Structure 1
């Protein structure tokens, strides 16, 4: 198996740290305590808050895979229930509550070192054309090391996600097509993605028909060689667009960041949903050192 790129390996470590905000019981409870009943109100409030009190349009564009009707059920109504400034405070406090018990045994000097390294990486993300990455990067940095770690992971993952969306658009895919294409390659099923992204049966079937016309699905819904090749190219493009923070940080500092981050990612894994909706692999299957390669 080909060696993974640095960007791919680092994503496998920082994504689980960020993702506690969507799955950890402490985070879900925090949104309920803030008056947001129902999972999706908390999800959209927390993830959209860096953009301000926007309506569904910018979110449909930047989130990419969600059905417009699903987004419109949450926005702009959620801003009548919580202000974006309050949502930012809730999500940061909730992430700290979820991650705090996981790092209780970690040496505080190492935690502070990791915070400094991740902040240095996140502070160097290029933001041109990266709507969610730029919005999160523009937020004030917290002072607590654990909160810095979570915030840096969030900037890095939204920066990577923006690049992934750019790669999907360059490949000529729209939101439902990207999901049909993902499901066709295995790992989860159609019902799961329709439920969490809001596409109707008719919308899903129409997207599958477009992929068949393009030559990416055969009549049985199996991905063609062209589709599999495009998937490899898209993954490589996503990694290439996400590698600049690690190139700037340098190989030695990146290796140290990975080694310090790996145990936190592995400790966070039991709080998450597997398979993960964003496709990140379970870090408990990664080497304990988390050492990135040179690719």
Structure 2
């Protein structure tokens, strides 16, 4: 049994987080992952507070185990969403796109654990001083908005810089990734792309088809000229965006082009003209299966790798 401080801190069985992906990580998926022993996370994105409350209720109706909500700190509904989180006494929140420091004290008062996503050592140190409970160090292999450092260089540097638990994210898809993260000093992993192909994920079936067909080089990064790079499956939209960047189109116009494209893909199923945010591990996702099977496969895979290593190497 692989256990770590993060399991004890959050009262979860396995050190596996499901990424809080906007338009993807609904209550159905989060509940299934939590019930399986990991930490399911609702992706609030830029959704209004009443939507977030409905998804929280879905989770509560399906499992009594801990769960989380991912909060985008640039959301226009941020204050209302934070109020819902306090009222519903959400056990865990993960955060992105900012510093949650101003909310930490109020959340701690109701027992909510605060775990921000970071892409740099400097931000990790700043957030530890702000009193957060743990950190998710996310490398640029991940889908969606990314930083500039890969997972392998980032995670050990963050681990060495802070005393609180660190979760590794970006490029992790199986038990081998979990073991690699633990070797780097992380105390758990967050996975997004593989959970997009969970049976309980309500994303458009066309999105799942695209991920299953993807190869190792089928993602593209756009938006570097805007300061907010994003990794997606390469398609008509990413190529149009890249050409506009090459032509020197202003960041304002590029942001207009990207507006609403995530929903177009994930909900409407337009996988050519929408933004199919996915990590580089898409090529390693080969089947649609229950969330519980994914969690079990990662844990059992890690155990198998430990046994293989004991035969190959002398420690």
TM-score of the superposed pair, with normalisation by structure 1: 0.28
Structure with more strand by fraction: 2
Alignment TM-score, normalising by the size of structure 2: 0.27
Of the two structures, which has the highest relative contact order with CA contacts closer than 8 Å and spacing of 6 or more?
1
Greater share of residues in helix: 1
